[in-house]
Structures are given as C-alpha cells and as structure tokens.
Structure 1
Amino acid sequence: MNALQGKTAVVTGGTSGIGLATARLFAAEGARVFVTGRRKDVLDAAVAEIGGDVTGVQVDSSDLADLERLYETVGGPIDVLFANAGGGEFLTLEQVTEKHFDDTFGTNVKGTLFTVKKALPLLVDGASVILTASTAGTKGNEAFGVYGASKAAVRSFARTWAQELSGRGIRVNSISPGPVDTPGISGLVGGGEAAVQLTSALASTVPLGRMGRPEEIASVALFLATDASSFVTGAELFADGGANQV
C-alpha cells in the first residue's frame, strides 16, 4: 500500500474495465488521480466508485481541445500517465468504412499521441508513461484488422518515445492485454448470448483457460508506474494468460 503516495496520476478512459480498475488501484495506493471519460453520468459514477483523491474530467481523447482542458484542470506536475482510452469493433476488410477507420485511429492512435504530447510540459523528470496496446497488435485476428493496426501503432510509439524522452528519465512502456472480461468485450457483439459465446471462445484461446480480470491488468500498470520497474522502458508487457506466448 501507498506505493504512489504523494504522486499525481492521470488515467484516460478510466470509467470502466481496465482503466477503472487501474484508477481505483492508483487511488488506493495513495495517488492523486485524474480520470477521464466521454459521458458525464458514467464518469461521475466511476469517480464515486474509485474513491480517494480523484477528479473526473469529461474528455474525448481524440479532441485536442478536450485534452488541453484536461491538463489545465490537472494544473501541476504529473508523475504517472496511463494513456488507456481506446476502443474498436469487429469489421472485416469488406465491411470497413472510412468512419470506422477514422473513429478507431482517432481514439487509439491520434488520441494516444496527443494525450502524451500535451502532457509533456507537466510530466516530471523520471515520470512513467504507460500505453495500452493489445495482443491484437501482433496477431492477425479476423475482422479486427483496423483495431490491430491501431494497437501496433501504439506499441511503436512506446519504442520511439522511450528513446526521445530518455534524457529526462521518463520511462515509456506498453501493456498488451489478452482477452479481459470487460464491458468493452461484451459490447463488441451487443451483449446477451452472443457475448457469452464470444467470451467462451476467447477463453478457449488462453493457456490459463480463462479470461483475464481488469484488476490483473491494473496490477501490471501499477508495477510500471512505480520504481519497481525503474529499469524498464520501451517494453511491451504481455498480460494475456499466455495467449500470445505459447
């Protein structure tokens, strides 16, 4: 406990799933947490659930003006930045539309890039920047091509930025979760029986035989956020139950 005491952390996309679990863990570990989400009602509910020293800021991470307002609200040094906001949907190559491409790359790639870029003046020397990538960035998952390409770009950002920010001692790493039991997974197929079938199919691809839990990914984020990972930068940490490893 108190691994982040006295630290300020920003978690984007923190109203559900991995982001919510991470914001809750960071707050429990003593951090002052700023969490973002696009819908005010959902954001308010997340803030109430997280507890501790937490501030919610309504932000669409693909909107640069929203990002500027986020950092104006933070207003001071940032020790940990978890650029987690993102999403996707199943569409085959034949089904892909320009809107699908723009929405996916707008949030996952543009949003991640400018979330970090606009934070630079506030990031302390020695800060930790954590990006949410995905196992989809290294595998050819059917009907997930645009999403996978966007997450491959996020992984590439971690390598480049680790080099560019090393002079300030800022570490940049990515987490690549495997199948994780979150509302976003169910939302890919609209919930209901289809969601049950999807989660069962995904679990069958994992050597551990189950979906991951958001709290398990949050624990990886906490490791990267603290001095326990002080010699780790530019890395891709797979938290996938072995799905992409064996």
Structure 2
Amino acid sequence: MTRFKDKRILITGGTSGIGLATAKRIVAEGGEVAVTGVTQDHLDEAGRDLPSGSLVLRNDASDPEAAKDLAEKIKDQMGQIDGAYLNAGFGKNMATEDVDADGFDAMMDVNVRGVALQMAALKPLIKDGGAVLVTSSVAPYLGGAKGAIYAASKASCLAMARSWSKDLAPRNIRVNAVAPGPIETNFFDALGKGGDEAEDMKKQIAEAVPLGRMGKPDEVAAVTCFLLSDDASYVSGSEYMVDGGMTLR
C-alpha cells in the first residue's frame, strides 16, 4: 500500500512502542515522518530504525515551551504537514491516599497540558484535509483502583479530541482518538517491574482480555494508520478501542 505517498506525519512520543510502530508503517507506505522522544536510548533506536531523512527530535512534552519549539522545528524542516499523532504521554499507578500535587501535576503536565499546547502550536501547520490523532486509553472505562489520575488524564485527551474535531471541521481536518488496551511495550519497565513479577502481571492482564493475550504495537499501528490516512475520510470525533475486547467485560 502507498496510502501515505507524498504525506508528512508528525508523531510525538514516536521513538518507542506504538508511536515507533506507527512511524515504521507510515514510512513503509510511502510517507515521511518526524518523531519525538525524551529518552536517549529510544531516540537512538528510532534513528536506527527509521530511514535517512526522517526527523528524530528530542522534545519533552512536560515543558510548556516545548510545543512552540517543536512547531518551529517542524515548520523549518518539513513545512506543512498532513497529519499529527499526539501520542506522547506516560502512566503511573498511584493509590488514592498517595496522590499528591507533584504526582498529579507530573501526569497532567504531559498527558493533558502537553497535548493541548501541541495542538495549539501545530494547528496552523496542518494542511486542510489532514488528520489529527490523540492517544486516549481504556483506563477511564475500566476504573483501576490505583489509576484514577491516569484515567482522568486520558479521559481529558478524548474530550479535547472531540472538541477539536468540531473546531477543525471547517478545514476538513479530521480529529480522532485511539484507545489502546494492554500492549506489549516498555510499560513494565516504566513501572519498575521485571522478571517473575512482570510475567505474573502479564498473565493476570491476559486473563482479563477476552482474546486471552496482550496486544502488540503493530496491531495498534494498523488502526492509527487507518485513522491518519484518507481511508478514514469520513471518520471524525470518534474513539477506536484496540483492546482485545477488554472494555466489553
């Protein structure tokens, strides 16, 4: 397929996991990509995995000045873009009694404020007829005991995407959200889990999924690329679950 021939797509949080899988698929389908990340190992990995000419940019969504800096770099090096996938974010479990201002702000700064500022800065660079995609989550639907703040942040992403779908509709720019379920990424590393503990968690999670397993980044990328492509030309203001049926239980 060549759905992305002559198209330029920006992916924040695109140096690992779902973001990198999406970038690889876009390139394979004829597109050009710019990806952002903050971890040097992931930046290096993306630099190796993506072809020459791809932009790999260090950009920290928790920094309120980062969105403007990102937009300036994209404008200078790519010009107008055909789509933006606002995927940068992170999750951390926090028991209700352990929530404090610093922990709350850290998650909201990246998952909500970062996305909002990115959209504000990038809006003028997105071509009429283009596409915007935001990563939400199944977390708001599942109600995890220690996931209140993360779930709230991702519910905010969906709310923003739906509002933006109306704001950008006059320019024929579609805005949608993708809600991944449990996906085999570096999730457990971020939680500080490893070895037997990680395997036990994976088993428990798989048992909660009707399909009986965790998903793979490429399986989410198949959906993100659909929503970013012209194949989804009449899809806007929607949220697509990629969760093996988990939210149906």
Q: Which runs of 5+ in 1 are unaligned?
A: none
After superposing the two structures, state which structure 1 stretch, 185-194 or 162-171, moved more: 185-194
- 2:124 equivalent among 110, 114, 121: 121
Matches within 5 A, 1:62-73: 62-73=62-73
C-alpha separation in 2, matches of 1:37 and 1:245: 33
Matches within 5 A, 1:49-88: 49-51=49-51, 53-75=53-75, 76-88=79-91
C-alpha separation in 1, matches of 2:175 and 2:223: 14
Aligned residue in 2 for 1:28? 28
Aligned residue in 2 for 1:132? 135
After superposing the two structures, state which structure 1 stretch, 46-55 or 118-127, moved more: 46-55
Give the letter for the 1:31 counterpart.
Answer: G
CA deviation string 1:11-48 (max 9, x = no partner): 00112111111111111111110000012342122121
Are residues 224 and 118 of structure 1, via their aligned partners in 2, closer, same or farther at CA, if it must alter by over 3 Å?
same
User: Do the aligned residues in 2 keep the contact of 1:134 with 1:178 (CA within 8 Å)?
Assistant: yes
CA deviation string 1:190-236 (max 9, x = no partner): 22221111111111111000000000000101000111111100001
Aligned residue in 2 for 1:39? 39
- 1:203 equivalent among 194, 202, 206: 206
After superposing the two structures, state which structure 1 stretch, 154-163 or 62-71, moved more: 62-71
Aligned length: 246
- 2:148 equivalent among 129, 145, 150: 145
Deviation at 1:66, TM superposition (A): 2.1
Give the letter for the 2:142 counterpart.
Answer: K
- 1:228 equivalent among 207, 228, 231: 231
After superposing the two structures, state which structure 1 stretch, 134-143 or 232-241, moved more: 134-143
User: Quick check: 1:184 aligned with 2:184?
Assistant: no
User: Do the aligned residues in 2 keep the contact of 1:27 with 1:53 (CA within 8 Å)?
Assistant: no
Deviation at 1:170, TM superposition (A): 0.7
User: Do the aligned residues in 2 keep the contact of 1:24 with 1:51 (CA within 8 Å)?
Assistant: no
Are residues 88 and 67 of structure 1, via their aligned partners in 2, closer, same or farther at CA, if it must alter by over 3 Å?
same
Aligned residue in 1 for 2:163? 160
Deviation at 1:117, TM superposition (A): 1.1
Deviation at 1:186, TM superposition (A): 4.0
Give the letter for the 2:221 counterpart.
Answer: A
Instruction: List structure 1 segments (4+ residues) > 4 angstroms apart after TM superposition.
Output: none
CA deviation string 1:29-73 (max 9, x = no partner): 111100000123421221211225411110001223222222222
**SS at 1:94 equivalent:** helix
Q: Which runs of 5+ in 2 are unaligned?
A: none
**SS at 2:98 equivalent:** coil
Aligned residue in 1 for 2:8? 8
**SS at 1:118 equivalent:** helix
Matches within 5 A, 1:83-98: 83-98=86-101
**TM-score of the superposed pair, with normalisation by structure 1:** 0.96
Percent of aligned pairs with the same amino acid: 39
**TM-score of the superposed pair, with normalisation by structure 2:** 0.95
Give the letter for the 2:16 counterpart.
Answer: S
Give the letter for the 2:7 counterpart.
Answer: K
